[in-house]
């Protein structure tokens, strides 16, 4: 059973909605303008902050309940990818996240420390990753399956993989799959303790890279089966051709310098699609801007593709590293690369690493039939998706 992408939805630091994000990508306008002092007065790092407040997000959907920011961002992106989708079907919702409702828990803790009697213990109800998914599910059409994936920075990608499997094996007709994460003090402090935050705007793949910038946002795909697409006259944006998830079992928070995990994820994805490396037209890299990630991913690229690697870039210098949402956001960008027949540039690159890999530096119009999208998480959890251009399906 083939799996198609019927629609996409996104919100990130570069804008709310697909069109805003696409315009910013092509205009090379990043969203890393905010400093993180609102999270922690002792730090002054760049972050990719979504411009809309929680109140503005709630007002968009007439929500009176004070949902977590992760849930509100998720609802915005999910609503966009469902805007033209109404048929009755066996529908699933699979969402990846790492922070869940942690922002609400932090709000409770801050209030409790200053005024215990007025702290809202109900805020803690939103804390878990699963509660963020459940909160959104209540605003969606009837669902036959709901699940949450939390595998660090590969969460959304693994949600998409699970959604595709549910369709492929005939368990569901359509799945909303992707991820959402919001900025919070816990993740900022955690990444700061690992010494992998850049004081300046991040420089993926650059010799002088110094770390990542955290971001927030949400990205989702509406996946449908081939039979469902034909039956309802849906014209898919592309096909989710193949995917793979592996674990290099190397380190709790780092990849091996040889890039074993990234290499296996990409290799298995292409092998399942029976596709040669020469057919890949673009790779959306995980590309965080940390010393370890870019070294490992570059090593994997050279091992698999050799010196004739395809055009590639990281888009995290636009959005920041959105953690559990990154795979969903970058899957949307990969679909847009096929839809628009363009590859997107890698910002802030000036000096090649020792590997010699040079990313795309300007928006480029070219044939884009096959796109690889990479996501790598803590614990060595590495995943890749392969999207393919297709002919429009009609009745």
From first to last of the 395 residues of the chain, give the pLDDT tens digit. 899 999 999 999 999 999 999 999 999 999 998 665 545 444 578 999 999 999 999 999 888 878 999 999 999 999 999 998 988 899 999 999 999 988 888 887 887 788 877 877 877 777 888 889 999 998 998 999 999 999 999 999 999 999 999 999 999 999 999 999 999 988 988 999 999 999 999 999 999 999 999 999 999 999 999 999 999 999 999 999 999 999 988 898 899 989 999 999 999 999 999 999 999 999 999 999 999 999 999 999 999 999 999 999 999 999 999 999 999 999 999 999 999 999 999 999 999 999 999 999 999 999 999 999 999 999 899 999 999 999 655 44
Q: Do 98 and 216 belong to one domain?
A: yes
Domain for residue 393, yes or no? no
**Residue 394: predicted pLDDT:** 47
- Could you tell me if 385 and 243 are in contact, meaning their C-beta atoms sit under 8 angstroms apart? yes
| Residue 165 falls inside a structural domain | yes
Last-in-domain residue among 187, 202, 231: 231
Tell me what pLDDT residue 35 has: 66
Q: How many domains does the chain have?
A: 2
pLDDT at position 43: 57
For residue 241, what is the DSSP state?
E
The model's pTM is 0.95
Could you tell me if 248 and 350 lie in one domain?
yes
Residues 166 and 293 in one domain: no
Taking the C-alpha atoms of residue 5 and residue 235, their distance in angstroms, rounded to an integer, is: 9
Output the six-digit token pair for 111: 């209030």
Helix (H) / strand (E) containing 3: strand 3-12
Q: Is the same domain home to 63 and 26? A: yes
Say if 143 falls within a structural domain: yes
- Do 213 and 333 lie in a common domain? no
Any domain includes 395: no
- Residue 268 to residue 248: CA distance in whole angstroms: 13
The number of helix segments (H) and strand segments (E) in the chain equals: 12, 16
- Is the Cβ–Cβ distance between 218 and 76 less than 8 Å? yes
State the Cα torsion 31-78-225-169 to the nearest 10°: 100
For residue 305, the domain's CATH number is 3.40.47.10
DSSP of 205-217: TBTT---B-EE-E
Which residues are tagged catalytic?
Answer: 153, 286, 321
Domain that holds residue 313: 240-388
Tokens 């590309």, residue located: 287
Alpha-carbon span 372 to 358, nearest angstrom? 17
Provide the pLDDT for residue 41: 43
282 and 352 together in one domain? yes
Provide the pLDDT for residue 392.
52
Could you tell me if 121 and 199 lie in one domain?
yes
Boundary residue ending a domain (176, 205, 231): 231
DSSP bridge pairs for 374? 384
Last residue of a domain, one of 205, 231, 257: 231
Bridging pattern class, strands 91-96 and 174-181:
parallel
Of residues 386, 151, 389, 387, the one with CA closest to residue 269: 386
Do 227 and 246 belong together in one domain? no
176 and 157 co-located in one domain? yes
Q: Looking at the structure, tell me whether residues 225 and 245 fall in a common domain.
A: no
Asked if residue 247 and residue 227 are part of one domain, the reply reads no
């Amino acid at each position: 059973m083939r799996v198609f992408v019927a629609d996409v939805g996104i919100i990130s630091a570069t804008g709310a909605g697909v069109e805003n994000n696409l315009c910013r990508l092509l205009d090379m306008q990043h969203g890393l303008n905010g400093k993180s002092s609102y999270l922690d007065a002792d730090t002054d790092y760049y972050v990719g902050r979504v411009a809309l407040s929680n109140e503005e997000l709630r007002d968009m959907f007439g929500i009176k309940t004070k949902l977590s920011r992760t849930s509100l961002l998720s609802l915005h992106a999910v609503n966009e990818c469902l805007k033209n989708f109404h048929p009755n079907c066996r529908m699933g919702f699979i969402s990846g996240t790492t922070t869940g409702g942690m922002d609400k828990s932090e709000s409770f803790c801050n209030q409790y420390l200053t005024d215990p009697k007025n702290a809202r213990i109900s805020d803690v109800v939103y804390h878990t990753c699963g509660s963020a998914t459940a909160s959104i599910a209540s605003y969606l059409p009837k669902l036959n399956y709901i699940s949450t994936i939390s595998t660090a920075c590969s969460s959304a990608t693994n949600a998409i993989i699970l959604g595709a499997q549910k369709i492929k094996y005939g368990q569901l007709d359509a799945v909303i799959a992707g991820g959402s994460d919001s900025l919070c003090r816990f993740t900022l402090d955690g990444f700061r303790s690992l010494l992998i935050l850049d004081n300046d705007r991040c420089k993926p793949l650059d010799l002088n890279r110094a770390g990542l910038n955290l971001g927030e946002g949400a990205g989702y795909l509406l996946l449908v089966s081939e039979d469902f697409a034909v039956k309802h006259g849906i014209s898919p944006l592309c096909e989710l051709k193949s995917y793979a998830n592996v674990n290099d079992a190397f380190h709790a928070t780092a990849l091996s310098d040889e890039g074993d995990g990234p290499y296996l994820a990409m290799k298995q994805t292409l092998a399942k699609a029976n596709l040669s490396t020469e057919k890949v037209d673009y790779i959306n890299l995980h590309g965080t801007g940390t010393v370890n990630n870019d070294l490992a991913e570059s090593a994997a690229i050279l091992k698999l593709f050799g010196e004739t690697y395809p055009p590639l870039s990281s888009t995290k210098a636009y959005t920041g590293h959105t953690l559990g949402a990154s795979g969903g956001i970058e899957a949307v960008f990969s679909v847009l690369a096929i839809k628009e027949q363009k590859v997107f540039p890698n910002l802030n690159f000036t000096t090649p690493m020792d590997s010699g890999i040079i990313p795309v530096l300007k928006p480029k119009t070219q044939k884009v039939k096959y796109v690889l999208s990479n996501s790598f998480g803590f614990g060595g959890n590495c995943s890749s998706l392969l999207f393919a251009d297709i002919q429009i399906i009609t009745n």
